[in-house]
Chain A
Amino acid sequence: MTDPAVRFERVTLDYGTRRIWSDLSLDIAPGAFVAILGPNGSGKTSLLRAILGLVAPSSGRIAVLGHPPRRGDPGIGYVPQHSSFDAELPFRGRDLVQLGVDGHRWGIGLPNASVRAQVDRALASVDAAHYADAPIGRLSGGEQQRLRIAQALVGDPALLLCDEPLANLDLRYQQTITDLVAAWRQRTGGTVLFVTHDVNPVLRLVDKVLFVVNGRWDAGTPDEVLTSERMSALYRSHVDVVRVHGRILVVGESTEAGFNLDEPHHVPVAVEHETPR
């Protein structure tokens, strides 16, 4: 029995006076792929920030890789929520990845062959070498996201935290990014926490889901948690979980105020990706 990669022991997190979630207890085994699901504003990003040591829980204990969360933990790789780069910014994909190696160190940092080799390997591992010297603000969202994965993995972490890494990507790139994360986990035995509003692109990889709704949570395998009974209990209203063509849809009933799930975006998933842009 090895130590869990991440352990939550009766953790409660508040943001100001608002309780985000309470009494969360969860062990995440090394090498696990955990999908963190739930509507927007349910504290999924806060959960990652707590693991990163950027917010402290109001009560309870968190252990990350066997120790309390600490800022700048080199054992963690982090892919943040989508943010774009200015088109004229003189900064290349190569520079972004290098920030993952030595961006946190003081001083100027003179050119260094071993750092360069490390960056080149990371770029090659996500198949980004051929656009690594182009200005980053002029790359597509999918190209930028591959660089973000390379940046997160270049320091050889044991735990990878991804915050909506598939948002803003078309289906083909969702597949590419998912494959890269899966390959990394396969190769290194690393642990993945993957925040997403749609579980389907990663369903085949997921060992465990953590579903957070309005301060309540439920965790287990997808087959255990993603059922009409458990989801209805979590949402405290009637929710159907339907499986169609190997996809899982969580569907709320419509009420006078609209749907009882206030975030219909994670319901009609199949339609969402066909929305023209």
Chain B
Amino acid sequence: MDQLLTLLGYEFVQNAIAAGAVIAIVSGVVSRFVVARNMAFAVHALSELGFTGAAGFILLRLSPVFGLLAGSAITAVFIGTLGVRARGRDVVVGVVMAFGLGLGVLFITLYKGYANQAFAILFGTITGVSRGDVLLLVGIGVFTLAALAAVYRPLTFATVDPEVAEARGVPVGALAVVFLLIMASAVAEAIQVVGVLLILTLLITPGAAAERLTPRPGAAIIWSVAIALFCVLGGILLSLVTNAPVSVFVTSLSFACYLVARFVAGPRRRELRAVRAGAGDEGRPAAIAAR
């Protein structure tokens, strides 16, 4: 405990915690939409091509954070314009991802310096962020959350009920592209903590765990943020104490959260049965009536 308090006095620890908190909030909110829109594969593509962007920027001696953003944003635009329809989307994602990752390999090969930066991007480096990085990450985070807040209701409409949303004048196709761009900046943020390869632990797991805990959309977002904060801050502190990489703990904690959420989902189901018991003649399982 004393050791922890001593650590919390260090500026690099404070930086990591501040950046981690912002990143967790962004990841928690965005992951609810990633899960609801079934976009795990697209997240992975944005992440891996963020790596390509970062590798390219490192080669040009530019900031890898901007490289991440550029790589995933360009990918977002490609996926958004080539494959808005859900059915063709995964195919387009796969095609774009394969090519983009090939470019990443080329950039790494051309780069003659140390490969440390590339390794950091693949597995995360949150304990290495400077005060300037923190401000940059806070800025990107605030911008991402503001954009998501601005489109929250129509994006929810387009996600849950696209036919009626379109009929009500919601620009469903444009929102798909806007959400990909929001995802791109959330990916660039989350990579700072867990790296490219483990991105789904922050952009899928919190949202997937949260939907087991409540039937209310707003409450699901709050749960998702709470879980992401617990995983990221817990991961940073455990990493400081043990010297093992942050991503090891974040992935373990988030997996544990998911298992617990599924385990405690029992009470929610019982509550639902109680609600349905009041329905009297409606007690039939959904699968029988909905054919």
Contacts and interface: CB of A to CB of B under 8 A. Distances in A.
Interface of A: 52, 54, 70-73, 76, 78, 80-92, 95-96, 99-100, 102-109, 130-131, 133-135, 137-144, 151-152, 168-170, 173, 277
B286 interface: yes
A135 B220 CA distance: 12
A134 B151 contact: no
B272 A72 contact: no
Given A90-B210, A92-B215, A131-B276, A141 B289 contact: yes
Interface stretch (B120-128, B153-161, B184-192): B153-161
Contacts of A91: 160, 215, 217
Closest 10 CB pairs of A and B: A72-B169, A141-B290, A103-B157, A140-B289, A80-B163, A90-B220, A135-B215, A141-B289, A71-B169, A78-B167
Contacts of A72: 167-170
Given A81-B163, A140-B289, A92 B216 contact: yes
**Most chain A CB atoms below 10 A, which of B161, B279, B282:** B161
Given A99-B161, A106-B153, A108-B152, A277 B167 contact: no
Given A83-B163, A89-B36, A92-B216, A277 B154 contact: no
13 contacts: A80-B163, A95-B160, A95-B216, A96-B161, A106-B154, A107-B149, A107-B153, A108-B152, A109-B153, A133-B275, A140-B290, A143-B282, A168-B289
A103 B170 contact: yes
Given A107-B149, A277-B291, A90 B219 contact: yes
B214 interface: yes
Contacts of A73: 169
Q: For this complex, into which size category does the number of interface residues on chain B fall? A: 35 or more
B160 A130 contact: no
Nearest to A76: B167
A217 to B, nearest CB: 23
Given A78-B164, A134-B276, A151-B164, A169 B289 contact: yes
Contacts of B48: none
Given A78-B164, A80-B163, A90-B219, A99 B276 contact: no
B65 to A, nearest CB: 28
Contacts of B290: 82, 84, 140-141, 144, 168
Given A90-B211, A109-B153, A134-B272, 6 more contacts: A78-B167, A103-B161, A103-B165, A139-B282, A139-B286, A170-B289
Most chain B CB atoms below 10 A, which of A91, A95, A131, A277: A91
B288 interface: yes
A266 B217 CA distance: 40
B165 A134 contact: no
Contacts of B272: 134-135, 138
Interface in B271-291: 272, 275-276, 278-279, 282, 284-286, 288-291
Interface in B182-218: 210-212, 214-217
A168 B291 contact: yes
Nearest to B148: A108
Nearest to B168: A104
A155 to B, nearest CB: 9
